[in-house]
Structure 1
Amino acid sequence: MSFLGLRKWPTPVMKPMWPFMAAAGITFYLISVGQAKGIRSPEYRNDPKNPYAAQLAKESAQ
């Protein structure tokens, strides 16, 4: 018997969602690695639109 639509056992959430959560984690990691490599590439290192240009110039000066 249910009380206000609540069942005795909770609906499983983690078990059916683990592939999507794993894929989201892998995607997030790969995008962040790609971005880090992209901002440090020689083509965009000295681009004035690069928000990390000052930081990269300071690193290369050392």
Structure 2
Amino acid sequence: MSFLGLRKWPVPASTFRQIIKPLWPFFVASGVTFWLVSKAQDKMVRLPEYAHDPRNPYAEKIAKETHH
């Protein structure tokens, strides 16, 4: 039986490796980029000019950390 003209094919184990092997640099770069953007956002939110801004969603958290 076919679904939309496609037959069931077994997926060999080597297919997974064939997909992951050429794409590993992109996975690593995605992780590094996510980490760097996260760190940059955290540093920018904690700058003095933005730390006391009422529009800052982390203002309360930053205020609590500075009082301790």
- TM-score, reference length from structure 1: 0.81
Deviations 1:6-58 (A, max 9, x none): 57664211101101001101100100000110111111000011001011111
RMSD (CA atoms): 2.0
Q: Aligned pairs, how many?
A: 60
- Spell out the pairing of 1:28-43 with structure 2 (5 A cutoff): 28-43=34-49
Unaligned 5+ segments in structure 1 are none
For 2:50, the aligned partner's letter is Y
Identity percentage of aligned residues: 45
For normalisation by structure 2, the TM-score amounts to 0.74
Structure 2 distance, partners of 1:20, 1:10, is: 20
Q: Distance between the aligned counterparts of 2:20 and 2:27, measured in 1?
A: 9
Structure 1 partner of 2:24:
18
For the residues of structure 1 that align with 2:66 and 2:25, how far apart are their CA atoms? 41
Structure with greater helix percent? 2
Q: For the residues of structure 2 that align with 1:7 and 1:34, how far apart are their CA atoms?
A: 41
